[in-house]
């Protein structure tokens, strides 16, 4: 199943875990954000891992 969309809902604590797990998709400055133009299919495993590991469960994908 291909990932077409990744987003971060309100409540992010900017812990940086998503960037550590999947630096080609996420970056954290003031808040975590999804990198525009990131290749979701090539990074599917780490996107799923970042969503599972997120301490506040705000990383979503479809």
State residue 12's pLDDT score: 96
Residue of 48, 58, 46 lying closest to 12 (CA atoms): 58
Residue of 6, 9, 5, 1 lying closest to 56 (CA atoms): 9
Cα(8)–Cα(37) distance, rounded to whole angstroms? 15
State residue 54's pLDDT score: 98
pTM of the model: 0.93
State residue 47's pLDDT score: 98
Listed as ranges, residues in the chain with pLDDT below 50 are none
State residue 39's pLDDT score: 97
Give the three-state DSSP class for 19.
helix
CA-angle at 44, arms to 41 and 46, nearest 5°: 140
């Amino acid at each position: 199943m291909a990932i077409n969309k990744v987003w971060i809902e309100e409540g992010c604590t900017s812990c940086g875990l998503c960037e550590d797990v999947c630096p080609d998709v996420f970056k954290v400055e003031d808040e975590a954000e999804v990198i525009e133009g990131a290749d979701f299919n090539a990074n599917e495993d780490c996107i799923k891992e970042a969503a599972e590991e997120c301490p506040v469960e705000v990383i979503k994908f479809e």
